Structure 1
Amino acid sequence: MAAVAVVTPDGDMTATRGTDRHSSFEIGSISKVLTGMVYGDALDRGLISQKTVLGDLLPLDPAGEVGAVPLSSLAIHRSGLPRLAPGMHPLRRTLKLWVHGENPYGDSLTDLLKQTRDVHLGTRRFRYSNLGFQLLGHAVAKAAGSSYGELVQDVLGSDFSAPTCVADLGPTDVRGVNRLGRSMQAWVGEAVAPAGGVRASVSTMVSFLRSVLDGTARGLSALEPSADCVPGVGIGAGWLVVDHRGRKVTWHNGSTGGFSSWIGLDREACVGVVVLVATHGSVDRSGFRLLTEFTTTGTMPGRRGIDGRPAA
């Protein structure tokens, strides 16, 4: 099952396979760009500042190192935090994911804060951190006086969802599979939502892309790069910015046990693409190709490629 959409100044085009425009996919780490934008919006509203630290908003151990981490460093993956909290035993969970298809991220926010208690910070250089974005999203939500899921809906659109348990899923929520076609448990959980637990339909993503491209979305400062990940790749708040075949592309991808996703924008051309697939496997090449072909030819890029299959 898959859904792909292209947003242009002349209109929107959507193709689906085995599903429809309103079916909801796990968008994985594309959740991070939503978190970056609610962070940017909170800055704009004065709810937080560049000097706000995690300990100002979350009940972290005052004797620990994590409470002193600035939110601004979390947004660009330069906090010194590891990719995941060691206290969650990530290797054990990864094994259960691949052997049994289990959800490795079913924790509550309370669980997450306990797992973070004894974390030690590393060098504050670029280090991609799911833990950092989990904490960033929940901290911003606390500043806004809401839950993370409610904050995303308020700032970016009511059709985004951040299910905390399987009971929150409904008939429009697609079930994903791994590369071998095996059904995988849904990645639901309060703690993981800001880093990879949001769900959206292609219709929701089209509305989101349109609002970003036309400048009506809140938190747009998140798209402006303020640091480098590696030479030639900039990062805003969550969003990555790269020069691709002579065009500046603002993008992010996502992957869960049973889903793959990609979102990208050529802001100068006012063109955006989203790819949602209910199979684990990279769709980056397909996303970049669609965006590049459309911005360079001005015509709908080969519909034969919009077939839901991950790129080889």
Structure 2
Amino acid sequence: MPAGNTHGDAELAARLGAGPGRRGRAAAAATVCRDGQVLASVGAGLDADFELGSVSKGITGLLYADAVARGELDPATTLGELLPLGACEAARVTAGALSTHSSGLPRLARPAQPFRRTLGLWLHSTNPYGESLGRLLAQARTVKLSAPRPRYSNLGYQLLGHAVASAAGLQYPDLVRDRLAGPLGLGSLYAPAGPGRLRPEAGIGRSRTGKPREPWTGEALAPAGGLRASVRDMARLMAAVLGGSAPGISALDPVAGFAGGARIGAAWVTLDVKGRRITWHNGATGGFRTWVGFDRSAGTGVAVMSASSLPVDRYGFTLLQELSAACR
């Protein structure tokens, strides 16, 4: 993604250039309200796809809520009913507990050679999360549960996504395509199993110092952090959520307490920010940062995406606050 070029709305592109797109980093943003959509990018085209990181959990939350509505599973369904986990502790965990990060599962499964993987990321920019589904399940069989309480778990959402796919008789990438990307016309929303499966428009992520990072792809990772999409398609997805045509939008409805006084639905976190109730999720990979948020009472949404490990959360919250004020 060459630096320097801008696309879309000039004012929003200028703000990107002074924020997430500074120092030549590629970045994109979209705002959605009842007056329409505004898109902009710097250093990349509007159809370039970015790693969504943990915003993938928000999409898995939509797919989970949709599967519940279809009657394919319910919050009491256990992982052991849907995945070949045997009699391990993780098999007893319910889908509902996974969806609200209250299952007792740790943040991550313990992979082979964890120090070597971390060292590889920082020294050589390699992907530390490229496991197959089979390897993920093998790791899950060795996990010990802690007391159920709010505890953010990548492992939990990896297993939830693959369990939802199993309930539908599909693989997770096909679940995304058939239930969400296809019906909503989101051609750039996908879960690449490896670097060779990236779209030609796929962006290259970079560290804070500008060093290129290997893409974070992998079969196991996809439901919790391995999805990619363009800013154009993120705008379409936000519009569908706000308009009520997206599947599984009940995922945004908070049903349980979470950290810091926030509440959580199926991955999506809701909290009060300067008098506005904001529902949001962010994401981070080795070379990308993302933020997606909604002010549902105002009918507004914002997505911010950066091909750099520099944070974008504050930018996203500020942009959504301004948009909601303007759209009253």
Aligned-partner Cα distance in 2 for 1:298–1:236: 26
Q: Of residues 10, 19, 30 in structure 1, which corresponds to 2:55?
A: 30
Q: Which residue of 1 aligns with 2:83?
A: 58
Aligned-partner Cα distance in 1 for 2:203–2:32: 23
Q: Which residue of 1 aligns with 2:30?
A: 5
Alpha-carbon RMSD across the aligned residues, in angstroms, is 1.1
Aligned-residue offset at 1:117 = 1.4
Aligned-residue offset at 1:36 = 0.5
Q: Deviation string for 1:210-246 (max 9, x for gaps)? A: 0000011110110011111124201000100010110
Amino acid at match of 2:55: I
Q: Which residue of 2 aligns with 1:242?
A: 271
Moved more, 132-141 or 150-159: 150-159
Distance 1:78 1:91, change over 3 A: farther
Aligned-partner Cα distance in 2 for 1:88–1:270: 45
Q: Which residue of 2 aligns with 1:67?
A: 91
TM-score by length of 1: 0.93
- Contact 2:75–2:97, Cα closer than 8 Å, also in 1: no
Aligned-partner Cα distance in 2 for 1:88–1:116: 13
Aligned-partner Cα distance in 2 for 1:185–1:126: 32
Q: How does 1:97-176 map to 2 (within 5 A)?
A: 97-158=121-182, 159=187, 160-176=189-205
Q: Of residues 179, 201, 208 in structure 2, which corresponds to 1:179?
A: 208
Q: Which residue of 1 aligns with 2:222?
A: 193
Amino acid at match of 1:102: T
Percent of residue pairs bearing the same amino acid type = 49
Secondary structure, aligned partner of 2:258: strand
TM-score by length of 2: 0.89
Q: How does 1:293-312 map to 2 (within 5 A)?
A: 293-298=322-327
Moved more, 163-172 or 182-191: 163-172
Total equivalences in the alignment: 298
Q: Of residues 225, 233, 257 in structure 1, which corresponds to 2:286?
A: 257
Aligned-partner Cα distance in 1 for 2:290–2:194: 21
Q: Which residue of 1 aligns with 2:311?
A: 282
Aligned-residue offset at 1:89 = 4.3
Aligned-residue offset at 1:137 = 0.1
Unaligned segments of structure 2, at least 5 residues: 1-25
Q: Deviation string for 1:253-277 (max 9, x for gaps)? A: 0000000000000001111000010
Amino acid at match of 2:107: R
Secondary structure, aligned partner of 1:209: helix
Aligned-partner Cα distance in 1 for 2:223–2:112: 17
Aligned-partner Cα distance in 2 for 1:41–1:92: 39
Aligned-partner Cα distance in 1 for 2:64–2:36: 29
Unaligned segments of structure 1, at least 5 residues: 300-312
Amino acid at match of 1:115: Q
- Contact 2:82–2:163, Cα closer than 8 Å, also in 1: yes
Q: Deviation string for 1:261-309 (max 9, x for gaps)? A: 000000011110000100012100000000001111349xxxxxxxxxx
- Contact 2:302–2:319, Cα closer than 8 Å, also in 1: yes
Aligned-partner Cα distance in 2 for 1:239–1:89: 32
Amino acid at match of 2:80: G
